[in-house]
Amino acid sequence: MLSCLIENKPILEMKKQHIPPRKRFALWLAYKGICCYCKKPVDYKDVWIDHILPEHLLKTPEKLKKILQEYELDSDFDVEDYCNWIPAHWRCNLEKGGTVFDKGTTRYYISIASGKVTTAQEKELRVIRELERGKLLGSLEIALSEGLLSKQALITILQQEPSPKVRIEPIIITFGLNYYDLWESKLCPDWLNDYDPSDYPIVCDLLEKDLVKQLKSLLTCEFFYPEASGRNGETLSVRLSFMQLDEKEMRRFKSNWWEILEIASYSDIYGEFTEYQST
């Protein structure tokens, strides 16, 4: 009991972190419960989600912009996302606090985090699905935040087979555009002037990023890539998988170059929806 009370200190501190519990849990699962700094196991109840680029930089956008430039990171790098989060022991994180690592160290940790983004997103969807199934409901979150549930018990719960009756299927939307029509169009994005049609891969990357950014701003639901985009040199098609898509929100989607080519249920395209496979 005493040790439990002592260990509650980081839990209380942990609550100050505004990262939603499902994301915190997904991140911890994605790293298999290992602290990114000391490489030793860390219990869920003790894990601290560290921002590689400290979140206080969000309060000084100019400083953040300068660092992103200096560190050769994307200008739209998301400080508040899996690409910038790593799980660490409370104590391992204490030493770092709000300091900004040097370029090499930052890029090293960001490369680790980037490699975990897809897995973390999949784990998160899985957690959401478990919660939606009503099996865990609030009890999971309470148990987790109070440190009452062991790592093994949680893993066991998450490994249980979902009930087929209440399986919630994602919606798959395919977005497409004709690459050369885009160049001829007067409505093309402004940044296109910095490139020419031979920059197909770079321009495709940027178009996809724009699309994801726009969708993120419109939608409250989670979405991810179920497969890589289709690029044949003439067209670009992007399939995205949406969990619990709100149609009203989606109707606000407007684009001068993207066209919605198809809306389908997950099983229509990929067969029975069972669970997310880790890549």
113 binds Zn ion (CB under 5 A): no
Work out how close the CB of 89 gets to Zn ion at its nearest, in angstroms, rounded to a whole number.
3
Whole-number minimum distance, CB 162 to Zn ion, in Å?
A: 33
Which of 89, 123, 126, 239 binds Zn ion (CB under 5 A)? It is: 89
CA distance 181 to 217: 26
Q: Which of residues 6-35 bind Zn ion (CB under 5 A)?
A: 35
Nearest distance, CB of residue 250 and Zn ion, angstroms: 42
Q: Is 171 in the site for Zn ion (CB under 5 A)?
A: no
Give me the phi and psi of 185, to 5 degrees please: -75, 145
Contact predicate 245/260, CB 8 Å: no
Is 49 a binding residue for Zn ion by CB under 5 A? The answer is no
We find the least distance from the C-beta atom of residue 144 to Zn ion, in angstroms, to be 19
Pick the closest to residue 231 from 178, 183, 167 (CA basis): 178
Q: Are 230 and 236 in contact (CB under 8 A)?
A: yes
Cα(170)–Cα(81) distance, integer angstroms: 22
User: Tokens standing for 90?
Assistant: 């409370």
Considering the rule CB under 5 A, would residue 92 count as an interface residue with Zn ion?
Answer: yes
38 lies in the binding site for Zn ion (CB under 5 A): yes
Least spacing, CB of residue 20 vs Zn ion, in Å? 23
Query: How many residues bind to Zn ion according to rule CB under 5 A?
Result: 5
Only segment of 84-92, 168-176, 204-212, 242-250 that touches Zn ion (CB under 5 A) = 84-92
- Measured at the CA of 10, the angle between CA 8 and CA 11, to 5 degrees, comes to 60
Check binding of 36 to Zn ion (CB under 5 A): no
Do the strands 47-51 and 230-231 form a parallel or antiparallel pair, or are they unpaired? Answer: unpaired
- Examine residue 264 and tell whether it contacts Zn ion (CB under 5 A): no
Helix or strand or coil: residue 225?
A: coil
Is 243 a binding residue for Zn ion by CB under 5 A? The answer is: no
Q: What is the rounded distance in angstroms from the CA atom of residue 33 to the CA atom of residue 86?
A: 11
Shortest distance, CB of residue 195 to Zn ion, whole angstroms? Answer: 44
Handedness of CA 56, 58, 60, 63 (dihedral sign): positive
Residues that bind Zn ion (CB under 5 A): 35, 37-38, 89, 92
